[in-house]
Amino acid sequence: MLMLKLAFRNILRNKRRTILTMLSMFGGYVLLTLSISVQNGSYVQVIDFFTRDSTGHAQISEVGYQDKPTLYKSVPETTDFYQQLMQVDGVQRATPRIVSSALAYGETKSFPVQVIGVDVEKEARMSFLEEKVKTGQYLEVGPDSDGYYSALIGAAVARQLSLEMGDELILISQGADGSMANDLYRVVGVVGSTEGAEARNVYLPLAAAQSFFVMPEQAHYWAVLTSDYERSDQLSQRLNSWLDGDSELEAVTWKVVSKEFYETMKADVEGGYVAYYIIIFLVCIGVLNTVLMSVLERTGEFGVLKAIGTSPGRVFTLIVTETLMLAVLSCLAGLIVAMPINYYLAAVGFVLPEPMEVSGVIMSHMKGLWDVKTFMEPALIVIGSAALISLFPARRAAKIVPVDAMRSL
Amino acid sequence: MKPVIETRELCRFYGAGDTLVKALDDVNIRIDPGEFTAIVGPSGSGKSTLLQQIGGLDIPNHGKVLLKDKPISEMSGKELSDFRRDHIGFIFQAYNLIPVLSAAENCEYIMLLQGIPAAERRERVLSMLAQVGLEGREDRLPGQLSGGQQQRVAVARAMVSQPDIILADEPTANLDSQTGMELLDMMHDLNRNEGMTFVFSTHDPKIMERASRLIYVEDGKVIREETRNG
């Protein structure tokens, strides 16, 4: 207790210097907290949106499909399969999809498109497809009175083929049985923007896609959602346990399904570390300067402490303790300031001056992240860096020879 | 009687070649328990260097310092710290109290290092400060005490851990003559009543008169020893 008292009183000796050092660590903590909050917040936002809208948290497909997607590798699309799938622990939603390419024709032009067959109702519950309809309406399950199945087209398809609501869309491709696939559909809506990930897509009701690609009661994969993308590994494991009896099917997480997206996000996070390093470096310089000055000024005093029996280890601990106290107090002050700011960032966020596309996801605003890690991580970084930085001056003070040190008194 | 401290062929040199200074040159002394010894000599004679060597604050170039027959020059940094903590009490010319600790806390500090329980520490500190006439000033910081009072705290700090020997480097040099004499009388009383061994350096003839034994040092050598009836 006396040692703590001594350390605490020592940091109060030069109040101006203590305040400046604390400001440096306080600023570092607040900046780190907000940077990490916005960085991780946007990371979570993008991944959450991307996985819910596109890949799901995990996918069930035929073995090898993820490495080389092909029309011929399929999974069952039956009520029985769906019901069993929904019984797997952690599964909240699931939807089947058929994905293949085709050539689309308007009245005068053709355009290569990606056809995605979706279960109209399950897809609406799972992804944001329905919300992304900019013009027209969402898909109908069955054909209209004229026998046409509905089609949603991406904005680039609409522009290239000059298609409008109610126009006929002709698709030509190949069926899974090797036959030539061609059919007519009625355009009921346009989704997204010309820059969006779905710009070149054509969405069909699953029954229409199954018929077009000759895949009765089949799909290319089931996209599955659990409560949170961070549980996707767990979900994938459970799905694989469930599929254990079927050697032809496998479950993989979104990280495998969209490896490129995952790698981009990882690189983005790593890029953010550069900013953290700069902040940490500035904090370290401030702390090192203070601790060195403090040790230098008190050289004689350390000589006396050692002369009266303080071991080198205790002198070392005293200096590290003083620095740690400063760091902890700075982080506490930083926490008081960072909490309301971060709460606002997490709850309200801020609008980006220009919408930004991250791997096909358009972001118009960013939000912070409100969790323990966002506040703890910067504290550990600041306190850890301060402790690390204090080791050198502490070692120097611990090693001084009393008689030499006391000459400076 | 076994000496508390003994030096054998003790040498401490500074510099080299033409600039070599022999601060201590083949010094052989022994201090017995209960002595009240003064190391005397003019400025630069080697008094302080000898005290530093006896107290293990510096390493000799040659020779040995033995504390109860144990050579302290062969100890590691940690062993030396422990040795100083448990066996030596220091009183410095400039008091050298820890400025952020109160009078009581300054005294308590060494006992804390010794691992003495808090209640016992407090009891011994209060008793010691009362002995040196600082009752009621226990909670004052060094800056709130006069020079004489600070040196009394330093004496209390040196004695409270019950060391084998107390080394005082010109303890009265920064005090006016009356305060200096009072302090010396107090140290002398503690020596007589508690049996504590004191070794102090001085070049003040008035102070030399109080010593029971005088060791004269000149140019780093012990030139004469004199025993008196304290």
Could you give the ipTM of this predicted complex?
A: 0.87
Query: DSSP letter string over A192-235?
Result: S-TTSTTTTEEEEEHHHHHHHTT-TTEESEEEEE-S-GGGHHHH
Which whole-number Å values give the CA distances from A146 to A131, A142, A150, A185, in the listed order?
27, 11, 11, 10
A156: Cβ–Cβ under 8 A, 6 or more apart, which residues? A111, A194, A199, A200
Q: What is the pLDDT of residue A54?
A: 87
pLDDT-derived band of residue A73, with 50, 70 and 90 as boundaries? very high
Poorest-pLDDT segment among A155-169, A258-272, A293-307: A258-272
Chain A residues lying within 8 Å of B78, measured CB to CB: 311-313
Beta strands (DSSP E) in B51-145 are 62-67, 70-71, 88-91
Chain B residues lying within 8 Å of A312, measured CB to CB: 77-78, 81
Largest Cα–Cα distance in chain B?
57
Cβ within 8 Å, pair A307-B108: no
Chain B residues lying within 8 Å of A307, measured CB to CB: 55, 57, 84, 90, 96
B139 touches chain A (CB under 8 A): no
Over 90: is that where the pLDDT of B187 sits?
no
Please tell me the distance from the alpha carbon of residue B228 to that of residue B191, in angstroms, as a whole number: 15
Side-chain half-sphere CA neighbours of B210 within 13 A: 23
Residue with the larger pLDDT of the pair A376 and A268: A376
Mean per-residue pLDDT of chain A? 90
B141 touches chain A (CB under 8 A): no
Please tell me the distance from the alpha carbon of residue B7 to that of residue B220, in angstroms, as a whole number: 13
Average pLDDT over residues B22-35: 92
If 0-12 CB within 10 Å is exposed, 13-18 middle and 19+ buried, where does residue A256 land? Answer: middle
C-beta of residue A202 within 8 angstroms of C-beta of residue A171:
yes
Chain B: closest CA distance from residue A12 (Å): 9
- Tell me phi and psi for residue B56, to 5 degrees: 70, 25
Over 90: is that where the pLDDT of B207 sits?
no
B85: Cβ–Cβ under 8 A, 6 or more apart, which residues? A308, A309, A310, A311, B110, B113, B114, B161
Over 70: is that where the pLDDT of B180 sits?
yes
Over 70: is that where the pLDDT of A57 sits?
yes
Cβ within 8 Å, pair A308-B86: no
Please tell me the distance from the alpha carbon of residue A359 to that of residue B114, in angstroms, as a whole number: 65
Kindly state the percentage of chain A with pLDDT values over 90.
Answer: 57
Mean per-residue pLDDT of chain B? 89
B105 touches chain A (CB under 8 A): yes
Q: What is the pLDDT of residue A409?
A: 66
List the single residue in B with minimal CA-CA distance to A310. Answer: B81
> Domain boundaries in chain A?
2-50+262-408, 59-225
Kindly state the percentage of chain B with pLDDT values over 70.
Answer: 99
Q: Which residue has the tokens 């010319």?
A: B93
Q: What is the pLDDT of residue B4?
A: 87
Average pLDDT over residues A13-23: 88
Tens-place pLDDT, residues A259-298 = 888 888 888 888 878 888 888 888 888 888 888 888 888 8
Average pLDDT over residues A341-353: 89
Chain B residues lying within 8 Å of A9, measured CB to CB: 100-101
Please tell me the distance from the alpha carbon of residue B83 to that of residue B208, in angstroms, as a whole number: 29
Please tell me the distance from the alpha carbon of residue A290 to that of residue A16, in angstroms, as a whole number: 11
Over 60: is that where the pLDDT of A360 sits?
no
Domain B35-48+78-227 has CATH 3.40.50.1820: no
